[in-house]
Structure 1
Amino acid sequence: MTNPEIALMMLGLFILLVFLGFPIAFTLMAMGIGFGYYAYYDAGRMWRSFNRLTDDAGTWDQWSLWLEGFYNNRIFDLFINQTYTVMSNEVLTAVPLFLFMGYIVERANIVDRLFTTLNIAAKNAPGSMGVAALITCALFATATGIVGAVVTLMGLLALPAMLKARYDPAFASGIICAGGTLGILIPPSIMLIVYAAASGVSIVRLYAGALLPGLVLVGLYLTYVVGRSILQPSVAPRPTKEEVPDVALGKLVFMLATSFFPLAVLILAVLGSILFGLATPTEAAAIGALGGMVLAVLYRAMTFQRLRESVYLTVRTTAMVCWLFVGSYTFSSVFSYLGGEQVISEFVAGLDLTPLQFLLMAQLIIFLLGWPLEWSEIIIIFVPIFLPLLPLFDIDPLFFGILVALNLQTSFLTPPMAMSAYYLKGIAPPEVQLTQIFKGVMPFLLMVFLAMAVVYIFPQIVFHLPEVFYGR
């Protein structure tokens, strides 16, 4: 077999092992080292080490020399260098800080106050409780970036309230599932940091580019919720005074000042310091982590147990992301060295695709990968396969990254592997069926596709803010 054939076999075997349920990070590292041992094998270098074995050497010396001969392969140098590269990556330094900010905010008891306040403020709007739940989800998801946590907390808080207010179970479930996924798109997003590290695109430009598409998607969600509430009032009846009491204007302002504005100010401070060049993403993430702790103290929710949980979850998630990068970098280096990247590039170039056709093909593959895989695995492992192909079609990696971020919303919403639906089903009342949740998320899934179409038709939605802040 030629080396490119071995590279393709390497990729196919990896995909097979992933579907069989093997841990992805360690599978990447094992396959990278295993195939890399073959790719970087140097017989002369090996035998020079083995020839140093002598009959008069002691048993321990012979064993040491044999090990030296076995390990005298450049793949081990590559693995060590890739590990050091990942662990010293300045972009990835922001990941644990943003995660810590999210876990602290999650435990600060902000969500219940925020939802209650917005529910009262929006009580005269069509589908008011749905609007309040969606805005709460968007703000909380943006602050935490942890889809499972947002969907679970909002499912415990908002879903029973909406069901009690006679909302259609499918409609209410769809709002929570869709709103909970927004944190991986709207800055400050951990997913965009990971994409920046994988692609080399400036994280500040990515944040600026993702802001308007994120607001477009939120706008489409809100339009759907309000529009359907007007056209079909039975799915979202207007609340009674017993369900949502009248509140004096002064008290409402105080409620907003103590629930909505602190979280909004924290998010805007972190994002604004990045976009206006006042701080690097890592520095802004540190500010956000400190701000989250201050909020938790002010809300009297800071305990040693919650702090310990936040630190533990931060370390665990950060370790997962970093080892995925180590495995991916090692795997992709060997795959490229064997000629696999060139084979794929020549194959795609031979298809004679237009830029639109290539984008559709790439987004379809990412959409399908979203069923069995997490977003982190897609970004770290599979997106880099497409990145070398972008110059062939004159596609800006910034634009491609925003489309991927929009597309990955679908990985949480597409049945039968819609993880948001399963998160919600795990804590929903027994009468809420999984089929109802699937039915509720489908309109929001269509909104995601519509947002992707809008971004492609009007690319300045992505490029406008980066050009305004940082030039072309």
Structure 2
Amino acid sequence: MTDPQVALFMLGIFILIVFLGFPIAFNLMALGIGFGYFAYYDPNRMWRAYNRLDETAGWWESARLWVEGLFNNRIFDLFVNQTYTVMSNEVLTAVPLFLFMGYIVERANIVDRLFTTLNVASKNVPGSMGVAALITCALFATATGIVGAVVTLMGLLALPAMLKARYDQSFAAGIICAGGTLGILIPPSIMLIVYAASSGVSIVKLYAGALLPGLTLVGLYLVYVVGRSILQPSVAPRPTAAEVPDLPLVKILTMLVVSFFPLAFLILAVLGSILFGLATPTEAASIGALGGMLLAVAYRAMTWQRLRESVYLTVRTTAMVCWLFVGSYTFSSVFSYLGGEQVISEFVQSLNLTPFQFLLLAQLIIFLLGWPLEWSEIIIIFVPIFLPLLGLFDIDPLFFGILVALNLQTSFLTPPMAMSAYYLKGIAPPDVRLTQIFAGVLPYVGMVFIAMALMYAYPQIVFYLPEQLYGR
């Protein structure tokens, strides 16, 4: 086999292992080191240690030199260097801080206050409880960036309230599942940090570029909720006075000040300090983590147990992301060294695609990968395969990254592997069937596609803020 054939064989084995369900980070490292040993094999380097053996050497010295010769391969140097590169990456330093902020906010009992307040404030809006749940999901998802946590918590809090208010089960489930995924796209998104580390694109520009598309998607969701509530009132009946009392304006404003504005201010302060150059993402994430702790203290929700859980979950998730990076960097280095990247590049060029066709093909592949894989695995492992091809089609990696972030919304919403639906089913009442949840999320998949079509038709939705704030 030629080296490029070995590279493609290596990629095929990895895809097979992914579908078998083995831990991906360790598989990447194992395949990278295993095939790298073959790729970087140098007989002279290997036998250099063996040649130092002589007849007078003892068994211990002989064994040591044999082991030294066995490991005298550049793949081990590469693996160590890649590990150090990932652990010292300044962009990735923001990941644990934003995760800690999210886990603290999740445990600070903020969400129930927020949902109750927005439900009262939006009482006169069609589908008011759905609107309140969607806005709560958007804010909470933005603060945490953890889809499973948002969907689970909102499923425990908002779903029973909507069902009690006679909302259609499918309609209510779709709102929570779709709203819970918004943190993937809306800054400060952890996914965009990971993409920035993979692509080399400025995280500040990514945040600026993602802001308008994120608000566009939220707007489409709200239009759907309100519009369907008007056209089909049976799915979202207006609340009675017993369900949502009429409160004085002063009381509503007080509730907003207590529950809505603190979290909104924290998010805006973190995001604004990044966008306007007042702080680096890592510094802003530090302030966000501190702000989350202060909010928890202010709401009297900070306990030693919750703090310990937040630290543990932060360390576990950060370790997963970082080891995925280590495995991906090692795997991709060996894959490129064997000529696999060149084979893919030549194959794509032979298809004579236009830039628009290439974008459609890339997004289709990412859409399909979203069924069996998490977003972190797609961004760290598969997106870097497309990045070297962007220059061939004169596609801005910033624009490509925002499209990928939009696309990954569908990975949590598209049956049969819609993880948001499974998160919700796990805590939903028994009479809420999985098929009902699937039916509820499908309209939101369509709205994601509409948002992507708008990005294709009007790229300035992505580029306007980065150009205004930072120039071309």
Instruction: Name the TM-score class by shorter chain.
Output: over 0.9
Partners of 2:71 and 2:392 in 1: CA distance: 39
Partners of 1:67 and 1:354 in 2: CA distance: 52
Partners of 2:330 and 2:238 in 1: CA distance: 57
Residue in structure 2 matched with residue 399 of structure 1 by the alignment: 399
Offset of 1:55 from its aligned partner? Answer: 1.8
Give the stretch that moved more between structures: 241-250 or 282-291. 241-250
Offset of 1:337 from its aligned partner? Answer: 0.2
After superposition, residues 148-297 of structure 1 pair within 5 angstroms as 148-297=148-297
Counterpart secondary structure, 1:302: coil
Is 1:90 aligned with 2:100?
A: no
Partners of 1:136 and 1:307 in 2: CA distance: 23
Residue in structure 1 matched with residue 321 of structure 2 by the alignment: 321
Runs (4+) of structure 1 moved beyond 3 Å? Answer: none
AA in 2 matched with 1:94: A
AA in 2 matched with 1:444: Y
Partners of 1:425 and 1:22 in 2: CA distance: 25
Is 1:77 aligned with 2:80?
A: no
* Deviations, residues 134-183 of structure 1 (Å, cap 9, x unaligned): 00000000000000000001000100111011100000000000000000
* Deviations, residues 291-335 of structure 1 (Å, cap 9, x unaligned): 000000000000000000000000000000000000000000000
AA in 1 matched with 2:165: A
After superposition, residues 113-128 of structure 1 pair within 5 angstroms as 113-128=113-128
Partners of 1:260 and 1:97 in 2: CA distance: 22
Counterpart secondary structure, 2:352: coil
Residue in structure 2 matched with residue 303 of structure 1 by the alignment: 303
Partners of 1:288 and 1:76 in 2: CA distance: 38
After superposition, residues 41-56 of structure 1 pair within 5 angstroms as 41-56=41-56
Partners of 1:154 and 1:71 in 2: CA distance: 52
Counterpart secondary structure, 2:188: coil
AA in 1 matched with 2:423: Y
Residue in structure 1 matched with residue 381 of structure 2 by the alignment: 381
AA in 2 matched with 1:349: Q
Partners of 1:50 and 1:3 in 2: CA distance: 27
Residue in structure 2 matched with residue 343 of structure 1 by the alignment: 343
Aligned residues: 472
Partners of 2:409 and 2:310 in 1: CA distance: 25
AA in 2 matched with 1:133: A
For normalisation by structure 2, the TM-score amounts to 1.00
Offset of 1:44 from its aligned partner? Answer: 1.2
Partners of 1:327 and 1:310 in 2: CA distance: 26
Residue in structure 2 matched with residue 428 of structure 1 by the alignment: 428
Residue in structure 1 matched with residue 36 of structure 2 by the alignment: 36
Partners of 1:34 and 1:165 in 2: CA distance: 58
Partners of 1:198 and 1:394 in 2: CA distance: 19
Counterpart secondary structure, 1:120: helix
AA in 2 matched with 1:280: T
Could you tell me which runs of 5 or more consecutive residues in structure 1 were left unpaired when the two chains were aligned: none
Partners of 1:99 and 1:235 in 2: CA distance: 36
Offset of 1:431 from its aligned partner? Answer: 0.8
AA in 2 matched with 1:126: P
Offset of 1:276 from its aligned partner? Answer: 0.2
Partners of 1:411 and 1:53 in 2: CA distance: 57
* Deviations, residues 197-235 of structure 1 (Å, cap 9, x unaligned): 000000000000000000000000000000101110110
Could you tell me which runs of 5 or more consecutive residues in structure 2 were left unpaired when the two chains were aligned: none
Residue in structure 2 matched with residue 369 of structure 1 by the alignment: 369
Partners of 2:19 and 2:56 in 1: CA distance: 51
Partners of 1:21 and 1:130 in 2: CA distance: 36
Residue in structure 2 matched with residue 408 of structure 1 by the alignment: 408
Residue in structure 2 matched with residue 331 of structure 1 by the alignment: 331
Offset of 1:46 from its aligned partner? Answer: 1.1
Identity, % of aligned positions: 85
Partners of 2:307 and 2:410 in 1: CA distance: 32
Partners of 1:470 and 1:81 in 2: CA distance: 33
Offset of 1:22 from its aligned partner? Answer: 1.0
Counterpart secondary structure, 1:408: helix
Partners of 1:46 and 1:164 in 2: CA distance: 71
AA in 1 matched with 2:220: L
Is 1:437 aligned with 2:441?
A: no
Counterpart secondary structure, 2:92: coil
Counterpart secondary structure, 2:468: helix
Offset of 1:56 from its aligned partner? Answer: 1.1
Partners of 1:58 and 1:195 in 2: CA distance: 52
* Deviations, residues 61-116 of structure 1 (Å, cap 9, x unaligned): 00010011001100000000000000000000000000000000000000000000
After superposition, residues 134-145 of structure 1 pair within 5 angstroms as 134-145=134-145
AA in 2 matched with 1:20: L
Counterpart secondary structure, 1:409: helix
Partners of 1:391 and 1:307 in 2: CA distance: 45
